[in-house]
């Protein structure tokens, strides 16, 4: 039940919403497409579902080509499940009717379909709500009905279009756990669309960072955070600063980089690095230490469990991001040592 995208392109006038994109999503994977609004991630989902035509390229679902030049299998014949951002529950059907609908379309008589649907309602803990209308449910309950409907479709490929975006922040954390449970239960190949990196990090086996119709990087969440492929991914995921420097020494997996006169850092590398490079310094790479480089606090903001400060190191034109256990006033002096960093791959 893998998804293969092969040189996929979709244009709106002169703009390519999805631009020559290729990727393979393995069976059973929870695959998240993460990107800013307008990057083409929803268009990509709609193309896989069959709700948008393909201009160029090919989509293969579980070994079956469903879209390419001159071929467009309609959505109703693709056998994929979709969870919509607005949940798309039919307001004129009760909860059980909503869940039973995909079972009916598979040719099961209505009464039998409703009995089968009741089991799926049970699996999302909504048994008592079978005869309610969607309008009478809370946001989280609607979300669970949408998941139950998706389960009921029996689809081995599930597409989710920002399903948590309409929920309150505190409800979102609870629903994230339900999403994981849902994925474990259905074991379906899941393509999850979001613009929220925290969500992507928490849920996914693999995350693709998307920009302007292309995947910038596809990797496991931690690899994405620690070893971003380029400056865009580094800036989009997590906090940190990118500083130019000069490689002065090399060994496999590591490079010694001079950032300023008298300021060097030993950073991780993915390839043999020489000459001018860019180094990503995350807050975790910085430590406050009296023996370190003198620095001045430029600004400071409270982030809930720590203070995040922008710090100007003497001799360095960029400010770095550090996390402090206490509040610091702008202008305050402190000393910083650099414990590590990541050398962005060279072109």
Partner 1 sequence: MPAPLREAPARWPGLRRITGEPVLLALIVLAAFALFVLPLGAIGRLAVSGTGGGPDAFVSAVNSRSVQRAFWHSLESAALSAVAATLVGGALALLIGLTDVRGRTALSFAILMLMMIPPHVTAIAWIQMLGPSSVLLQALNLAPAPGSTHPLYSREGVIGLLALQQVPLVYLTLRAALRALPRDLAEAARVNGAGPWRVLTRVVLPLLRPAVLAGFALAFVSALGNFGVPALLGIPGRYVTVPVLMWQRLASSGPSVLADMAVLATLIGAVAVAAVWAQMRLMRHASVALIGPPQQPLRLTLGRWRSPVELALWAVLAFAVVAPLLAMLATALVPTYGVPLRADTVTLRHFHEVILNQTVTARAFANSAALAVLAGLGVAALALAVGALSRGRLRGGARAVTTLAEVAYAVPGLVISVGFIIAFLRPLPGLGISLYGTHAIILGAYLSAFLAVGLKPVGVAFAVLDPALHEAARVSGAGFWRRLWRIDLPLIAPAAASGAVLVMLTAWNEVTLSSILWTRGTETLGTVIFNYEDGGYSTLSSAMSILSVAATLALMGLLHRLGRNLPPGIIPWRG
Residues that bind partner 1 (CB under 8 A): 49-51, 64, 73-82, 84-92, 101-102, 105-106, 119-120, 123, 149, 151-156, 185-188
Minimum CB separation from partner 1 for residue 70, in Å?
13
Question: Buried (b) or exposed (e) across 185-209, using 16+ Cβ within 10 A?
Answer: ebebbbbbbbbebebbbebbebbbb
Tell me the C-alpha distance between 134 and 108, whole Å.
Answer: 23
In angstroms, rounded to a whole number, what is the distance separating the alpha carbons of residues 325 and 309?
10
Residues 30 and 163: their CA atoms lie apart, in Å, by: 14
| Closer CB to partner 1, 108 or 337, in the complex | 108
Query: Closer to partner 1 at the Cβ: 107 or 262?
Result: 107
Q: What is the Cα–Cα distance from 39 to 209, expressed in whole angstroms?
A: 10
Q: Tell me how far, at minimum, the Cβ of 342 lies from partner 1, in Å.
A: 40
**At its nearest, how many Å lie between partner 1 and the CB of residue 128?**
19
> Shortest distance, CB of residue 119 to partner 1, whole angstroms?
8
**What backbone phi and psi angles, to 5 degrees, belong to 256?**
-95, 125
**In the bound complex, what is the minimum distance in angstroms from residue 195's beta carbon to partner 1?**
18
258/202 Cα distance (integer angstroms): 35
Q: Shortest approach of partner 1 to residue 105 CB, angstroms?
A: 4
Spatial CA neighbour of 245 closest among 324, 155, 167, 344: 344
Query: Which residue, 23 or 108, has its beta carbon nearer to partner 1?
Result: 108
CB of 125 to partner 1, least distance (A): 13
> What order of strands is seen across the sheet that includes strand 80-83?
80-83, 157-161, 189-194, 30-34, 206-211, 214-219
Report the candidate in 35, 50, 43 with the shortest Cα–Cα distance to residue 80. Answer: 50
Smaller CB separation from partner 1, 45 or 279: 45
CB-nearer residue toward partner 1: 87 or 129: 87
Rank residues 57 and 79 by Cβ distance to partner 1 and give the closer one: 79
How far apart, in Å, are the Cα atoms of 61 and each of 35, 78, 218, 328? 23, 8, 19, 54
Per residue in 143-154, is it b (16+ CB within 10 Å) or e — as a string?
A: bbbbbbbbbbbe
Q: What residues pair up with 241 in beta bridges, in sequence order?
A: 281
Shortest Cβ distance from residue 152 to partner 1 (Å)? 8
Q: Smaller CB distance to partner 1: residue 51 or 266?
A: 51
Closer CB to partner 1, 87 or 236, in the complex = 87
The residues facing 294 across adjacent strands are: 335
Nearer to partner 1, 63 or 331 (CB): 63
Q: In the complex, what is the shortest distance from the CB of residue 139 to partner 1, in angstroms, rounded to a whole number? A: 15
């Amino acid at each position: 039940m893998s998804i293969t995208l092969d040189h996929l392109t979709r244009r709106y006038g002169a703009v390519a919403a999805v631009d020559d994109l290729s990727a393979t999503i393995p069976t059973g994977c929870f695959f998240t497409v993460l990107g800013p609004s307008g990057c083409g991630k929803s268009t990509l989902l709609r193309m896989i579902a069959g709700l948008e035509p393909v201009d160029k390229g090919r989509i293969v679902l579980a070994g079956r080509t469903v879209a390419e030049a001159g071929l467009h299998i309609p959505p109703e014949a693709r056998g994929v499940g979709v969870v919509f951002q607005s949940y798309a529950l039919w307001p004129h059907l009760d909860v059980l009717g909503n869940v039973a609908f995909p079972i009916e379309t598979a040719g099961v008589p209505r009464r039998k379909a409703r009995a089968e649907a009741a089991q799926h309602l049970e699996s999302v803990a909504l048994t008592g709500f079978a005869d309610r209308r969607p309008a009478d449910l809370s946001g989280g309950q609607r979300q669970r009905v949408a998941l139950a409907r998706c389960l009921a479709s029996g689809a081995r490929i599930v597409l989710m279009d920002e399903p948590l975006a309409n929920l309150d922040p505190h409800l979102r954390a609870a629903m994230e756990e339900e999403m994981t449970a849902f994925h474990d239960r259905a074991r379906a190949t899941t393509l999850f669309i979001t613009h929220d990196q925290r969500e992507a990090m928490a849920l996914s086996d693999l995350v693709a960072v998307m920009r302007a119709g292309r995947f910038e990087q596809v990797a496991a969440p931690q690899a994405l955070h620690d070893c971003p492929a380029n400056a865009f991914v580094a800036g989009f995921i997590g906090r940190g600063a990118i500083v130019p420097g000069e490689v002065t020494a090399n060994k496999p997996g590591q490079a010694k980089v001079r950032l300023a006169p008298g300021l060097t850092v030993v950073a991780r590398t993915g390839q043999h690095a020489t000459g001018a490079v860019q180094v990503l310094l995350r807050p975790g790479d910085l430590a406050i230490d009296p023996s370190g480089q003198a620095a001045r606090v430029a600004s400071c903001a409270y982030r809930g469990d720590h203070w995040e400060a922008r710090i100007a190191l003497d001799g360095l034109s960029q400010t770095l991001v550090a996390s402090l256990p206490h509040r610091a006033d702008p202008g305050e002096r402190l000393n910083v040592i650099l414990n590590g960093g990541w050398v962005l791959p060279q072109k």
